[in-house]
Structure 1
């Protein structure tokens, strides 16, 4: 059963029981991703690690420096 089919079934059941309809799939995705990102940054700060730019720093340690353009 797909997510859409499950949502339609849940909406039908809620209407039959007189309950409020469930939120549509994907409504809270941005809020969840933002909360996850904030939590990850908070945990990095508590562990005394940089909260931003960690991927770039890690790649900078592993990859050789590339050619730099000069103006």
Structure 2
């Protein structure tokens, strides 16, 4: 059963029983990703590394790396 099918089944059951509707699938995905990023930045600071955005730092390193040829 897919997430959409489960959501439709849950909304039908909620409407039959008069309970609140469940949130749609993926509703809190962005918040979870932000919280994971914040946690990783927090862990980096505790480990003594800069608390910058890890993807931005990696991209900066990649773009500014000098080619040895």
TM-score normalised by structure 2 residue count: 0.73
Deviant stretches of 4+, over 3 Å:
none
Q: Which residue does 1:5 correspond to in 2?
A: 5
The answer for unaligned runs of 5 or more in structure 1 is: none
* Structure 2 gap segments, 5+ residues each: none
Structure 1 residue 53, shift from structure 2 partner = 5.8
- 2:41 and 2:53 in contact (8 A); partners too: no
**Structure 1 residue 37 and structure 2 residue 59: aligned?**
no
- TM-score, normalising length from structure 1? 0.72
Query: When you count helix as a share of all residues, which structure comes out higher?
Result: 2
Q: What CA distance in whole angstroms lies between the structure 2 residues aligned with 1:30 and 1:53? A: 16
Separation in 2 of the partners of 1:6 and 1:27? Answer: 15
Residues 1:53 and 1:38: Cα distance change in structure 2 (over 3 Å): closer
